[in-house]
Amino acid sequence: MMEERARQAEDGAGFIRIENVSKSFGSFKAVDEVSLSISKGELFALLGGSGCGKTTLLRMLAGFETPDAGRIFIDGQDMAGVAPYDRPVNMMFQSYALFPHMTVEGNIGYGLKYEAMSDAERKDRVREMLELVQLTPLAGRKPHQISGGQRQRVALARALARQPKLLLLDEPLGALDKKLREHTQFELMNIQYKTGVTFVVVTHDQEEAMTLANRIAVMDKGVVRQIGSPTEIYENPKSRFVADFIGSINRFAAAIVYVKDGIAVLDCAELGQPLQARAEDGFEPGMRVTAAVRPEKITISRERPEAGNVLSAVVHDLGYFGKDSLYRLQLPTGKMISASVVNTRRAGENERIAQWDDAVFLAFDPASVILLRD
């Protein structure tokens, strides 16, 4: 036991372990048999739609909810029966939950009030935190006298002041506007890097999760669907749910005809022609699968290109988003496909690759095709 703990502390793996944790409200399973292992110093994201149990899982880590089943370990210590005020965990609440009757300084220092430390140490720590989030000039203000972005930073500083082993952040950027969000994302990553505290961030914004986190757990209806790095989750989703949830994707129902040299040839009625896809181990001829391609992996051209998969299509619709354009294209079978094109050149309305109702060719590599079992 002692050895195990020492070993874990050394390489940091399994610093936080969630083992088969479940939680029901009445007959409703909010969190269902979740197991996660988070390393020390990691910035881990819990990603999922509204009501999928992210906050519930976070509240169990903080100690506000008791798991019905399963166990939670933080730095090797079993958290069962440990009250929130005794846990080496701090939380940044979605609504920030700043104390309205205390100043910025009072809020940040509150967590140190009952800590065994001298007044001088306490003062130093608060000053350090104020500097970390660049709020020193506002130390004497009350929460209602500062902006939303500043409040977010006070909440962060307050949660970090106790130097927790684990910091939980529930939708930390949820209340900020888009511009401020992007800026704050990097600030958050920077602070995480500086302090070295393990962060678990809850978000329903996939872009935010991808930007922030080293690793992401995608949740759906109380279940963790996939855990991996942003790249893994995006490029190698293991299920239709994850593929759909992260970014957008074109899907086709298909059946494997044969597999040769790691390339599967698929029969695909929706495309009206065979499809080539890179197949990992375990994909056998005869299997029914879903083939999926991301819009940005598809190129559009006027002349027939050389590629593993080439389709002809007609432009049905196009949308201009500044940095890229999204095309909706119709195949001869009637199936609609999305393709996005980065606008690398500065071009006028009439200089695009293709216009409405133009006939074009679509091409994508077999390696870009994701095969999903369900």
Partner 1 sequence: MMERALPPSRFGQWFNTSGWRTIIIAAPYLWLTAFFFLPFLIVLAISLASNAGTSPPFQFAAEAPYVHADNFRRLISDDLFFRAYIASILNAGLTTALCLLIGYPMALALTRFSRSVRNILLMLVILPFWTSFLLRIYAWIGLMGANSWFNKGLTALYNLITPDAYALRFIPMMNTSFAVVLVMVYCYLPFMILPLYANLEKLDMTLNEAAMDLGSRPFQVFKDVTLPLSVPGIIAGGLLVFIPASGELVIPSLVGNSSTPLIGRVISDQFSYARDWPMAAAVAIALLVLLVGPMMAYTHFESRAQRRPGDDA
Ligand X SMILES: Nc1ncnc2c1ncn2[C@@H]1O[C@H](COP(=O)(O)OP(=O)(O)OP(=O)(O)O)[C@@H](O)[C@H]1O
Q: Does 91 bind partner 1 (CB under 8 A)?
A: yes
Query: In this chain, which of 9, 13, 62, 175 binds partner 1, going by CB under 8 A?
Result: 62
Q: Does 203 bind Mg ion (CB under 5 A)?
A: no
For ligand X, the nearest residue by Cβ is 55
In the complex, the smallest distance separating the C-beta of residue 171 from Mg ion, rounded to whole angstroms, is 6
Length of the chain measured in residues: 374
- In the window 100-129, what residues touch partner 1 (CB under 8 A)? 100-101, 110-111, 113-115
In the complex, the smallest distance separating the C-beta of residue 60 from ligand X, rounded to whole angstroms, is 10
In the complex, the smallest distance separating the C-beta of residue 91 from ligand X, rounded to whole angstroms, is 13
In the complex, the smallest distance separating the C-beta of residue 175 from Mg ion, rounded to whole angstroms, is 13
DSSP 323: S
Question: Which chain residues interact with ligand X by CB under 6 A?
Answer: 25, 30, 48, 50-56, 204
30 binds, among ligand X, partner 1, Mg ion, none (CB under 5 to 8 A by kind): ligand X
Q: Which is nearer to Mg ion, 55 or 340 (CB)?
A: 55
In the complex, the smallest distance separating the C-beta of residue 364 from Mg ion, rounded to whole angstroms, is 37
For Mg ion, the nearest residue by Cβ is 55
Query: In this chain, which of 38, 44, 53, 55 binds Mg ion, going by CB under 5 A?
Result: 55
Q: Does 25 bind partner 1 (CB under 8 A)?
A: no
Burial letters 213-251, b for 16+ CB under 10 A, else e? bbbbbbbbebbbbbbbebeebbeebbbbbbbebbeebbe
**Residues in contact with partner 1, shown as a per-residue x/- string from 145 to 174 under the rule CB under 8 A:** x------------xx--x------------
Given strand 166-170, what is the order of strands in its sheet? 89-92, 166-170, 198-203, 43-48, 215-220, 223-228
Residues 54 and 244: their CA atoms lie apart, in Å, by: 19
In the complex, the smallest distance separating the C-beta of residue 203 from ligand X, rounded to whole angstroms, is 8
Cβ distance 333 to 271 under 8 Å? yes
In the complex, the smallest distance separating the C-beta of residue 84 from partner 1, rounded to whole angstroms, is 5
Q: Residue 232 half-sphere exposure, CB side, CA atoms within 13 Å?
A: 11
Residues 283 and 264: their CA atoms lie apart, in Å, by: 8
Q: Which is nearer to Mg ion, 97 or 347 (CB)?
A: 97
Residues 187 and 153: their CA atoms lie apart, in Å, by: 10
Residues 290 and 174: their CA atoms lie apart, in Å, by: 34
- In the window 198-257, what residues touch partner 1 (CB under 8 A)? none
Q: E-assigned strands of the chain?
A: 16-25, 28-38, 43-48, 69-74, 77-78, 89-92, 166-170, 198-203, 215-220, 223-228, 250-260, 263-267, 275-278, 288-293, 299-301, 309-320, 324-330, 336-342, 359-364, 370-372
Applying CB under 5 A, the residues found at the interface with Mg ion are 55
Applying CB under 8 A, the residues found at the interface with partner 1 are 62, 64, 83-85, 89-91, 93, 95, 97-101, 110-111, 113-115, 140-142, 145, 158-159, 162
